[in-house]
Chains A and B, each alone.
Chain A
Amino acid sequence: GAGVSQTPSNKVTEKGKYVELRCDPISGHTALYWYRQSLGQGPEFLIYFQGTGAADDSGLPNDRFFAVRPEGSVSTLKIQRTERGDSAVYLCASTEGGFGREQFFGPGTRLTVL
């Protein structure tokens, strides 16, 4: 079956621009996570959705970052006024929901801010 997909795979933008990163979770998975992975580091939690609602957005670094999941499936991570420090791989994961269920990760979107 299809896994988690993320588009685009690579995104290069200029400082100050707006970007959107898309995540298509595994069909039927109710829970969705966004992580950010900087070079040489482990993934860092950004936000968790259960259904359509953001149940935990405590990992979003500031108000330039926002994520939505309007129909409880596809999610979009939006970054306004991008900065060079936002350059990283943005990973999405989905799971059936519930405590400690296995998270299935997508391949990530590599964002480069020039």
Chain B
Amino acid sequence: TQLLEQSPQFLSIQEGENLTVYCNSSSVFSSLQWYRQEPGEGPVLLVTVVTGGEVKKLKRLTFQFGDARKDSSLHITAAQPGDTGLYLCAGINAGGTSYGKLTFGQGTILTVHP
């Protein structure tokens, strides 16, 4: 069974602060995705990282995939209240299925206070 451990589980910060969320596994994934979920809604895809060592930027968000494709991080610069939400990482398995089964981490609940 492939597991993804996210940390921290909860993060409460002030507007303007920086933060990093980590996603770790003992398993190799062919790619890894980050999602954001708001209350009463489904997760929405933010980014997919595919290559070991890859870094992708989305405005104030920076995503990194570990060299061994077992871990990833999400860094937010100058957080804003609008960043508040549940952040989920999800790994796509390296083999075994033809469709790319998603395994989600338990999520990080981020609250940014004005």
Q: List A residues at the B interface (Cβ < 8 Å).
A: 4, 31, 33, 35, 40-45, 48, 50, 55-56, 91, 93, 97-103, 105-108
Number of A-B contacts (CB under 8 A): 63
Q: Number of B interface residues, CB 8 Å?
A: 27
B100 with A99: CB separation less than 8 A: yes
| Residues of chain A with a CB closer than 8 A to B92's CB | 99-100
B106 with A40: CB separation less than 8 A: yes
Query: Which of A42, A48, A102, A105 is B42 in contact with, Cβ under 8 Å?
Result: A105
- Known: A45-B101, A100-B48. Contact between A105 and B106, CB under 8 A? no
A2 and B103 alpha carbons, distance in the complex (Å): 26
- Known: A56-B97, A99-B98, A100-B31. Contact between A45 and B103, CB under 8 A? yes
| Residues of chain A with a CB closer than 8 A to B44's CB | 105
A99 and B45 alpha carbons, distance in the complex (Å): 16
- Known: A100-B48, A107-B42. Contact between A41 and B107, CB under 8 A? yes
Query: Which of B6, B42, B99, B105 is A106 in contact with, Cβ under 8 Å?
Result: B42
